[in-house]
Amino acid sequence: MLYPLQFKPIYKTPIWGGEGIAKLPGRKNVPLRCGESWEISTVDGNMSVVADGPLKGNTLEELIEVYMGDLVGEQVYRKYGNSFPLLVKIIDAADDLSVQVHPGDDYAAEHYGTYGKTEMWYVMEAEEESEIINGFRTATSADEVKKHIRDETLLQLLNRIQAKKGDLHFIPSGRVHAIGRGIMLAEIQQSSDITFRLYDWGRKDKEGKSRPLHIEEALEVLDFSPEYSAGHPQVHAGQSLCLSDNEYFIANLLEVKGESRRNYQMLDSYVILLCVTGECHLRYHDNQTLVLKKGTTLLVPACIEELFISSSKPCSIIECYSSHL
């Protein structure tokens, strides 16, 4: 019988990584300067493996092949086959990430044979001076962007937003963006790892080398409009709020108080639960229980039609599932 699955984290140590992921409850063997914890992934070379229970040691791809629609939903399986459609991460930035952009589906399919990358961020922690770059300040053009890159003044064009715990940012493919230092966030995105860097703050790695930029590719996919999507969602205790409803996923924020019943009977989809603050208990299948702590990510199989989440103290959870295909 399928059950809510937790996977072994896949840790990444980019040049900007911090120490916050190691401080999350229950984390073990986290490397120094860990910038990313890939919680759910079927990206090539980064395959999630079940951490516990009867299915321990199986990869997510293997489980989708065996359980198909019972695990991910019939419509999801028909569209994506044995690949999982999303990549879920926790990101911890001790330094600024590069200013970057991701391609859309058409460009990614033509040039890389994969999907594009639209993503959503929920800020779990933010230092007082932290900023997020989300889009351009005003409408611009490829020529203007190239000139500012050449003059090392690209930041003048960018929309820089002070980051606060609980902020929400939606980053569609084509939008210029960057995560600033002092921020930990949950990231839900399409299953893609294609990034085009425009600017990397002039830094060098431990060997004295600069990381490569991808300016020509970035200019081909950039949206030069001043659009951006950001906010600070407010949810009353015991209620939920839709954070994003886009063509790739629907994400809600659950503020748990007491016990809440979640009915997934009509979804025909997997459900991802990612605890972003506090701690709660999850009850399913005739009173089997799990504990979710800050940073815990679960994949609830589509065949589980209801579960109960309870907490006596404030607890916030991101709930995510497939959009209508």
Q: Domain 240-322 sits in which CATH superfamily?
A: Jelly Rolls (2.60.120.10)
Q: Write out the residue limits of the CATH 2.60.120.10 domain(s) in the chain.
A: 10-72+81-231, 240-322
- Alpha carbons 28 and 89: distance in angstroms, whole number: 17
- Alpha carbons 126 and 274: distance in angstroms, whole number: 18
Q: Is 45 helix (H, G, I), strand (E, B) or coil?
A: coil
- Alpha carbons 170 and 248: distance in angstroms, whole number: 12
Q: pLDDT, tens digit, for every residue of 28-52?
A: 999 999 999 999 999 999 999 999 9
Residue-level pLDDT at 287: 86
Confidence of residue 324 (pLDDT cuts 50, 70, 90): confident
DSSP letter at 98?
P
The overall average pLDDT reported for the chain is 96
Of residues 33, 175, 197, 262, which has the active-site annotation? 197
Residue-level pLDDT at 297: 98
State yes or no: pLDDT of 11 exceeds 80.
Answer: yes
Q: Which amino acid is at 322?
A: S
- Alpha carbons 244 and 31: distance in angstroms, whole number: 32
Least confident of 65-74, 131-140, 183-192, 202-211: 202-211
State yes or no: pLDDT of 204 exceeds 90.
Answer: no
217, 199 Cβ separation under 8 angstroms: no
CA atoms within 13 A on the CB side of 169: 28
Residue-level pLDDT at 209: 87
Which tokens belong to 100?
């970057």
Q: Is 156 helix (H, G, I), strand (E, B) or coil?
A: helix
Quick one: what percent of the chain has pLDDT higher than 70? 100
Whether domain 10-72+81-231 has CATH 2.60.120.10: the reply is yes
More confident residue, 113 or 207: 113
More confident residue, 129 or 325: 129
Confidence of residue 208 (pLDDT cuts 50, 70, 90): confident
Q: pLDDT, tens digit, for every residue of 258-276?
A: 999 999 999 999 999 999 9
- Alpha carbons 64 and 9: distance in angstroms, whole number: 19
Q: pLDDT, tens digit, for every residue of 283-318?
A: 998 889 999 999 999 999 999 999 999 999 999 999
| Residues in CB range of 198: below 8 A, 6 or more apart | 98, 99, 100, 101, 145, 149, 154, 176, 213, 214, 215, 218
Q: What angle do CA 302, 305, 306 make, to 5 degrees?
A: 130
Residue-level pLDDT at 325: 65
Give the sign of the dihedral formed by CA 117, CA 269, CA 313, CA 8.
negative
State yes or no: pLDDT of 83 exceeds 90.
Answer: yes
Interval 180-204 mean pLDDT? 96
Q: pLDDT, tens digit, for every residue of 51-63?
A: 999 999 999 999 9
Q: Does 197 qualify as catalytic in the annotation?
A: yes
